[in-house]
Structure 1
C-alpha cells in the first residue's frame, strides 16, 4: 500500500504555514493527534503511579501503554523499555552503569560516523576507569562504514561497540547485523544509536543484533524525550546509581524520578499515528503488523523523493554532495561553492524552506570529511515531504548557485 501524502500532511498543523520542512532529522513536526494526547493526559488528572486512585491508575496505564507501543515499534520486550529525558541522557546512564564492570585493559570501540551522543559517553566512561578506546573511521568518499574495519578493531578485551543504525548527516546505514555478529563473536555487547534509523525504516531489534537500542520519539512525530531498550535480563545485571527509596525493579530502576506521563501518552499517539499511515490489510488489533506495513510504505515514498532530490542536486554544478552510501536514509549533506552553510540556510529560509546547516553533533564525521566544525547543509525527508517541497528546495539552491 502506498503513502497518501495529502492525507498524511492534513494531520500536521505546522504544514499550514506553507513552509517546506527538511529539518526532520533534528525533530519532525507533530500531528494534531499527538498534541491532543498530551493535552488530554495533562488535564485528565494525574498523580504518581499506583492502584488506589483513578489518577494513579491513569498514570500507570499511560506508562505501560507507552512501553507496549515502543515494543511494537521496535519488536522488543515491553519490560525492557527504559524512558529518559533524551537518547543522549539514556546513553550516558547506560555507559556509567556498564563502566562499573570495566577496568584497565578493557576496550571500547566507537566510530567516527556516529553522532557524538554515541561517542562521548563511551569515551568518557572508558577514560574514567582506565579502559582503552579504539576508533573506527569510514570511507569519506562514500560515507560507508565497513564491517571489516569494525572487526579489525575487536579483540578479546573488547567490552562494548557503539555504532549508529543510520548516520544523522550522511544517512549511511551500516550493516548492523553483520557488525553485531562480529561483536558477539568477540564476546562484546553492541549499543546501537537508532535515533535516525527508526523514523525511516521498519525496525526489529533482535534481527539487528543490538543488545541496546536507543531512539527519540521526537524524531518520529512524538514529544521531546528519549528511550533505550534491551532484554530485561540484560538490564537486570546492571546497577545504576539511584535513590534508596526508588524501585529496584527492571525497567524502573533506570528511570530516575517521576516519568513525564504526558510525553509517554504523546509517544503512544505518535506510534499509533505511524501505524496508520499505510497499514494495508494488517488487522486493526495488530499494531506491530500495521507499523511494519506503514514503514515499508514510508521507505518507498522517501526513496522516490530522495532520488528526485539527489538527481536535482547533482545537476547543479556548484553543489558538492558529501558521501554516497549505497544503503541510506533519505538524508543529504551538501555544500554550495562560494556560500558558507549558514548563508545557504538563510537563503532557503527566506524562501520558506527549512534546511539547516551545522555539524549536527556528528562532529567527528564532519571533521573526518574535511568540513571541520562548520559542517554543511542537511536536507532530511519525512513522510509528510512532498514533491513540491523537494522542487522548492532545488529551485532555491539553484538560484543561489547561479
Structure 2
C-alpha cells in the first residue's frame, strides 16, 4: 500500500505559495516548484551551446534534449523517438495539421468536437478548408456536459482521415470516453489526435493504452516551464513531412522542431516530471513511469475530495449554476451566478488573495453551445498543491462576495 499523499510536503517546493495567495487557476497554468526553476537556471548558467559531443557545452545541450524526451516519454507512456517539443501545444498542432493536410483533398473529412479548446479545433478547421477537405462536428450535450456519442457515430465515416478530441475539457472538466472514440476512429482507418493538455495534470496519460495515435500536453500545466509537447507513434510521424529549412535534419522527431531547441525549458520539463514521479514515495525498484502512475492516482484522490467539498458548498447556494456535470470529470468547476457577473466575482476573490479567473478560456465552441455570455463563468481549478486551507479561504470569500 502506497504512503498517503502529503500535500504539505509538496507545498514547500513552491516559492509562490509563500506569497499568501490561494491559486485556483491551475487549468491556465500551474505554479512553478523550486526544482524546476533551479533546473532552468542551472542550464542557462552552465556551459551551453548547440548540440554536439565535442565540448562540455555541447554535451550539456545534448543531455537536456535526450533527458527531456525520455522524461516526457515516461509521462505520456510513449516512445522517446516520437516526442516533439515546441513553444506550445497550439503551435505544434498547427504545424502537424499543416503537415497532415498535405495528404488531404476534396472528399476527405476531418472530425472535431464542440467540447474542445480551440487549440484542437481551429488548426484542423483552417487546414482542412485550405485543401478542400470537409469538417464534421461532434456535438456537446449542454444538459449533461457530456460529449454526444451519437453525433460521433454520425460524424465518422469511411472518408474520415483524422479525429481530434480532448482528453478533458479545460472549461468544464468533462472527460469523454477516449477508448470509444479511438475504436470508432480506427474502425475507418483514421488517426486520433488527443489533446491531453487539461488531462495530464490530473491523471497518468498513456499514448500506448489510450488508443490515440498522437497525444499532446503543455508542461506548464503540470508544474513545468512554458513549452508544448506532442508524442506520436514514430511510424505515424514518419509519414508526415512538415515545412522546414533545407539544411535541417529530416529525422523524426527533429524534423518537426524548427530552429534551436529551448534547452533550459527542456531541462525544466525533466525536473517537473521527476518531481511528479516522487510525489508519493514508492518502492525503490519502481520505474519512473510506475512512480508517475502511483503519484497521479494519489493526486486524483486528493483533488477529487477537494472538488467535492467545493461543489457541495456551491450546490447549496441559491442562484448558482454548476456547468461541470459530466459523470467523469477533472477537478475543474465552472459556475455562473444569477445575481452576479462572473467577472465581478473573480475580481472580488482577487481582493481576498484568491486566483480564480472568469472567462471562456479559448473553449469557444463549448461556451457557445452552453449559451454562456462573453464573460463565461468563474472557473475554479484544483491543483496538486491545493489544500483544505485554500478551499476554506475560497468558500469564505465566496460567502462574503455572494451575500
Deviations for 1:266-290, whole angstroms, at most 9, x for unmatched residues?
A: 0000000000101433526x11111
| Partner in structure 1 of residue 69 of structure 2 | 67
Deviating runs (4+, > 4 A) in structure 1?
none
Say yes or no: does 1:82 pair with 2:84.
Answer: yes
- CA change 1:330–1:323 in 2 (3 A) is closer
Note if contact 1:165-1:196 (Cα within 8 Å) is conserved in structure 2: yes
| Partner in structure 1 of residue 245 of structure 2 | 243
**Distance in 2 between residues matched to 1:291 and 1:84, nearest whole Å:** 23
**Distance in 2 between residues matched to 1:373 and 1:111, nearest whole Å:** 20
**Distance in 1 between residues matched to 2:302 and 2:118, nearest whole Å:** 29
Q: Residues 241-280 of structure 1: matches in 2 within 5 Å? A: 241-280=243-282
Say yes or no: does 1:339 pair with 2:328.
Answer: no
- Tell me the CA shift for residue 2 of structure 1: 2.2
| Partner in structure 2 of residue 355 of structure 1 | 356
| Partner in structure 2 of residue 47 of structure 1 | 49
- Tell me the CA shift for residue 141 of structure 1: 1.4
| Partner in structure 1 of residue 172 of structure 2 | 170
- Tell me the CA shift for residue 338 of structure 1: 1.9
| Partner in structure 2 of residue 318 of structure 1 | 319
Note if contact 2:323-2:335 (Cα within 8 Å) is conserved in structure 1: yes
Q: Residues 189-208 of structure 1: matches in 2 within 5 Å? A: 189-208=191-210
**Distance in 1 between residues matched to 2:402 and 2:33, nearest whole Å:** 34
- After TM superposition, the score normalised by the length of structure 1 is 0.98
Note if contact 1:103-1:131 (Cα within 8 Å) is conserved in structure 2: yes
**Distance in 1 between residues matched to 2:201 and 2:252, nearest whole Å:** 27
| Partner in structure 2 of residue 393 of structure 1 | 394
Deviations for 1:51-96, whole angstroms, at most 9, x for unmatched residues?
A: 1111111101110000000011111000000000000001000100
Note if contact 1:110-1:136 (Cα within 8 Å) is conserved in structure 2: yes
Note if contact 2:138-2:148 (Cα within 8 Å) is conserved in structure 1: no
- Tell me the CA shift for residue 373 of structure 1: 3.0
Q: Residues 2-401 of structure 1: matches in 2 within 5 Å? A: 2-281=4-283, 283=285, 286-401=287-402
- Tell me the CA shift for residue 184 of structure 1: 0.4
- Tell me the CA shift for residue 363 of structure 1: 1.1
**Distance in 2 between residues matched to 1:3 and 1:50, nearest whole Å:** 41
**Distance in 2 between residues matched to 1:385 and 1:159, nearest whole Å:** 41
**Distance in 1 between residues matched to 2:252 and 2:394, nearest whole Å:** 47
Deviations for 1:137-173, whole angstroms, at most 9, x for unmatched residues?
A: 1111111113332122111111101100000011000
Note if contact 1:141-1:323 (Cα within 8 Å) is conserved in structure 2: no
Q: Provide the alpha-carbon RMSD of the alignment.
A: 1.0
**Distance in 1 between residues matched to 2:183 and 2:149, nearest whole Å:** 10
- CA change 1:282–1:294 in 2 (3 A) is farther
**Distance in 2 between residues matched to 1:66 and 1:176, nearest whole Å:** 26
Deviations for 1:203-262, whole angstroms, at most 9, x for unmatched residues?
A: 111211111101000000000010101011111111000000101001000000000000
Note if contact 2:220-2:227 (Cα within 8 Å) is conserved in structure 1: yes
- After TM superposition, the score normalised by the length of structure 2 is 0.98
**Distance in 1 between residues matched to 2:108 and 2:192, nearest whole Å:** 15
- Tell me the CA shift for residue 178 of structure 1: 1.0
What is the aligned residue count?
Answer: 401
Structure 1 unmatched ranges of 5 or more: none
- Tell me the CA shift for residue 385 of structure 1: 0.2
SS at match of 1:198: coil
- Tell me the CA shift for residue 342 of structure 1: 1.3
Instruction: Point out the more displaced range, 293-302 or 338-347.
Output: 338-347
**Distance in 1 between residues matched to 2:227 and 2:87, nearest whole Å:** 5
Structure 2 unmatched ranges of 5 or more: none
